[in-house]
Chains A and B, each alone.
Chain A
């Protein structure tokens, strides 16, 4: 309903009289405001362009309300008329000086500061990007340094550790993540067992499905999957929490009150992650093996006992510890990067979002990178 009604009321805002000597007489009336401005401007512009009059007189006697939007319309019309080599007169019986002043405001070519930033040159952008990468690297190292110093500090004064925060963080990062980690791992074990069984069946090597699932999960996929889930759940949360504190000056407040923000905010999160991520990894291993077991029993005619026996035969304590120690490193990466991105946040609400995103992306990248280092180290050392 609205559109048509609006148009009608706007149409009533002006009447145009065309005199034969190239004189256009326009009566405006009613409210000339933001709602009517663009309509009036568009219609009158078309009219003027089609008739190209020598003189245009705009009569404002019946205008009840007039603000900058109206002034803008008049100023634009004056420009259009001038382009057609005509002149525009404004007649106002009430002779409101305010109207003249506000139209003049737009007539003078202003020192424009355009709304949109002008695009910068390619080289400037490349340069900026490189510099910001370098700064980033610097910050990476200096933050790692401050984390290490904080840890030394905490070791010297164990009381300075914020125990309550650490425990809350352990609950949020660890306990609350168990369902999703368990579900993903269970399904992963299931799929892995199923896919490998298709191949191994052909050689009658069904029993090795148990070996495959357990060794792959315990030494590789368990730690990685858990780390990725934790990075997505908690790494982003760390970045967002600390980032919000940063932009609302809470971090500055901590600093002024004599706390070391790293000790106060980062250390509890790092400690909590390093404790709970290995435990989550154990859960992940366990549930993946359970997933494999389901497939083994249902489709491969293995018994519960033989599957478990084969699993135990394959896994050594070293294998399990290897996976767990990897997960400790991954936990350190996740918490370190999450807090780092949080502390790097500057600006407004969107900066917090960017921090959370880049916390997840960076930590997943580093997790994969370090996992490759581990693989290489292992093949050379043992």
Chain B
């Protein structure tokens, strides 16, 4: 079903000054799927994400989201594309001067003409969705790390984006909360048909949510495996991939 590709990455190369992080990467993400980018620490997962959402300009290659070429498109087209995506950053990136509710309300106020009391209703609903009822009035500094993550997720979901990018959604969370987040991800994908791209290295979540994964590698600076996680675990011949899925250290 390559025609359904909602995100297309073509021959992307990324460098920070002289360090090549990603070298000539090509892959597609299809509509309505849960796609996971995985790999060990420092393999360029977050770099890939930053390039995909247009935060960084690639050294070479291009990125297309829902038909819009992020690198060559006009300012208006770029802005329109931003409306279609929601991002949960690794550190949640909640605005410290605003309450949790105000954080979630911010994009809604920007993109709709709804009255404030109606926006409040939506915000409460979104907070309920991530299990943060009653915490709307707290400042981000007053809630725990896991709650910040969920608040960040509520903010990313505020506009019901077509594509949701999650950078390490369950890193640093307890198993129960991280399981809840996994279920939430599956729910969102099923109910709203949202395409979800997740960057993670949590094996548990990968097996629960991922429909298709790509694995990046530090030495190859590119993709070393692509497919269903269960298949990769069973059939992959690549030693790094095998080690990753079986939690083996590569020190002999």
Q: A: which residues have CB within 8 A of B?
A: 2, 33-35, 37-39, 41-42, 67-69, 72, 76, 98, 105-106, 110-117, 247, 346-351
A115-B141 in contact given A34-B112, A37-B112, A350-B96 (Cβ < 8 Å): no
Does B99 reach chain A (CB closer than 8 Å)?
Answer: yes
CA distance A349 to B94 in the complex (A): 10
- CB-CB < 8 A to A34: which residues of B? 108, 111-112, 159-160
Contact indicator A35/B121 (Cβ below 8 Å): no
- CB-CB < 8 A to A76: which residues of B? 118
Q: Which of B95, B136, B137, B192 is close to A348, meaning CB atoms less than 8 Å apart?
A: B95
- CB-CB < 8 A to B76: which residues of A? 2
Contact indicator A38/B97 (Cβ below 8 Å): no
Contact indicator B101/A69 (Cβ below 8 Å): no
Residues of chain B from 108 to 139 with CB closer than 8 A to chain A in the complex: 108, 111-116, 118-126, 133-137, 139
- CB-CB < 8 A to A67: which residues of B? 160, 192
Does B249 reach chain A (CB closer than 8 Å)?
Answer: no
Q: Which residue of A lies closest to B97 (CB)?
A: A350
- CB-CB < 8 A to A113: which residues of B? 101, 124, 133-137
A105-B160 in contact given A38-B114, A67-B192 (Cβ < 8 Å): no
Interface of A is mostly: helix
Number of A-B pairs whose CB atoms are under 8 Å?
A: 87
Report the minimum CB–CB distance from B155 to chain A (whole Å). 13
Q: Which residue of A lies closest to B102 (CB)?
A: A115
Interface residues on B, range: 35 or more
Report the minimum CB–CB distance from A308 to chain B (whole Å). 54
A110-B101 in contact given A67-B192, A348-B141 (Cβ < 8 Å): no
CA distance A347 to B124 in the complex (A): 24
Residues of chain B from 53 to 79 with CB closer than 8 A to chain A in the complex: 76
Does B140 reach chain A (CB closer than 8 Å)?
Answer: yes
CA distance A4 to B156 in the complex (A): 28
Contact indicator B105/A115 (Cβ below 8 Å): yes
Q: Which residue of A lies closest to B108 (CB)?
A: A34
Does B250 reach chain A (CB closer than 8 Å)?
Answer: no
Contact indicator A117/B122 (Cβ below 8 Å): no
Does B191 reach chain A (CB closer than 8 Å)?
Answer: yes
> Other CB < 8 Å A-B pairs besides A76-B118, A112-B120, 16 of them?
A33-B160, A38-B112, A38-B114, A42-B113, A110-B124, A113-B101, A113-B133, A113-B135, A114-B120, A114-B137, A115-B120, A347-B139, A347-B141, A348-B140, A350-B96, A350-B97
CA distance A38 to B160 in the complex (A): 15
